[in-house]
Amino acid sequence: MPCEVVDLEAIPGEITRLVFRRSPGKSGHYHAGQFVYLRIPLLSHTQWHPFSISSSPIEYEDTFTVHVKCIGNWTKSLYAVAIQAREERKMPLIFVDGFYGKMSDDFQHYPALVFVAGGIGATPIISIVGKILDCMRNNDPNMEFTQVYFHWTSREIGIFHEFEPLLDAIEQYDPDHVKFKVRLCFTGDQHLGGVDIPNGITLKPMDDTSMVPTRPFFQSSRSVPRQMMLFFVTFTCSFWCLFFIRYNYPILGELRINQNMWPMQRVVEVLIMIAGAAVGWAVVFTEPTPRSMSRLEKSRLMPTLGSFGPQETMANVDRSSDYSHSLSFDGQEVQFNHPVSRSRLNVKELFNEVVKEQSHNFAVNITGIGTWVSGPMGLIHAVETEASNFAGIFDVHYEEFEM
């Protein structure tokens, strides 16, 4: 059954925002950084495309949001459909499958967190940052002393505007920048752009689907790894058992001389299928609970952060002078609530700054600094290369996205 769509909107920068209703119960719960697959019959009856969830699972209890950047024909067609849906006041049918993946929930174990995002790759990180903010506002003891560095670079200025509510909430919660430090880097051209149908895209007639029943999204009560293990083990065991029971027909005889035994042959084959399924379920139920890997042993080989620079706090470090609240587009000054730089993100300066500011934080010597990067492969390589220069202090997690 199609999922209930709360909002479908095309925003500047060729980005489509989709908001879906989800079950408020356990079956509708997801983790920050997960993704879903979408299928839109108006565009294709067979294609499923994965997209990261950009909303916080805590702040929005009965909805989740996906942002889609126009890259290929399918995503461009989706952008055009969003424009068409707004003009015709109709909503296409959308099927959802999820929730899948997880960038990591280990951020609760780090006293300092670094998030680096490139373009639309910020969507899973936005979800994680939103969850961290919600945890801090709810006085989560695991986040009491956590400090967050969020650096985001993009060629599209519209995406910064799209997530201004989260940036405003961070500023309101931490106006002195003791807990959060946010840096935005704009590397695009000097044109704001508008909302137009992409070139080469032909609109299809949109049927009235108002009478088609939809439902809030919910997922199976079993985790995806358990489901995959179940399918794999069931198929493998059943295949080999069936192979051996049919090889030379041990019940019917090599030349099938015992034809009157064919019911027994069929019964054994059915029992093998059931046994294979039982083995699969046994494997799933015995799946160990994953645990976070301790870095205590690694910390003994790490130099202390104090050797990298003087003690500084996030509040004592001034923002770079090339960050401004206004940018010039088409000869007009456009104001922003948050400082934006027209320069590229300097990963080396970012890591040096973080290490200096965390030199007083001895807990970092045990846990390291949790680092999440999401964006194009060039950005991921830059982060991994610079992180390798700090003797394992930065514990890097990444997810690849195109800008």
- pLDDT tens digits, one per residue of 202-248: 888 888 888 888 999 887 655 566 667 777 777 777 777 777 766 66
Distance of alpha carbon 102 from alpha carbon 127, whole angstroms = 11
Q: What percent of the chain has pLDDT over 90?
A: 29
Measured over all CA atoms, what is the biggest interatomic distance in the chain, rounded to whole angstroms? Answer: 92
From 194, 162, 153, 185, select the one nearest 330 (Cα to Cα). 194
| Residues 26-63 pLDDT 10s | 778 888 888 999 999 999 999 999 999 999 888 788 89
Q: Are 343 and 322 in contact (CB under 8 A)?
A: yes
Q: Could you please report the per-residue DSSP string of 29-42?
A: ---TT-EEEEE-TT
Question: For residue 116, which phi and psi values (nearest 5 degrees)?
Answer: -120, 125
Whole-number pLDDT of residue 269: 73
Tokens of residue 75, six digits: 């995503």
pLDDT, greater one: 310 or 57? 57
Q: What percent of the chain has pLDDT over 70?
A: 76
Q: What is the mean pLDDT of residues 296-322?
A: 43
| Residues 158-185 pLDDT 10s | 888 889 889 999 999 999 989 999 999 9
Distance of alpha carbon 165 from alpha carbon 154, whole angstroms = 18
Q: Could you please report the per-residue DSSP string of 120-142?
A: GGHHHHHHHHHHHHHHHHTT-GG
Whole-number pLDDT of residue 302: 41
Distance of alpha carbon 395 from alpha carbon 370, whole angstroms = 5
From 197, 128, 163, select the one nearest 17 (Cα to Cα). 163
Residue 299 pLDDT exceeds 70: no
Non-local (6+) Cβ contacts of 106 within 8 A are 292, 370, 397
Least confident of 111-120, 284-293, 318-327: 284-293
Average pLDDT, the chain: 79
Angle at 149 between CA 143 and CA 155, to 5 degrees: 135
Distance of alpha carbon 23 from alpha carbon 62, whole angstroms = 6
Helices (H) and strands (E) in the chain, counts: 10, 13
Whole-number pLDDT of residue 259: 65
Which residue matches tokens 């408020």? 24
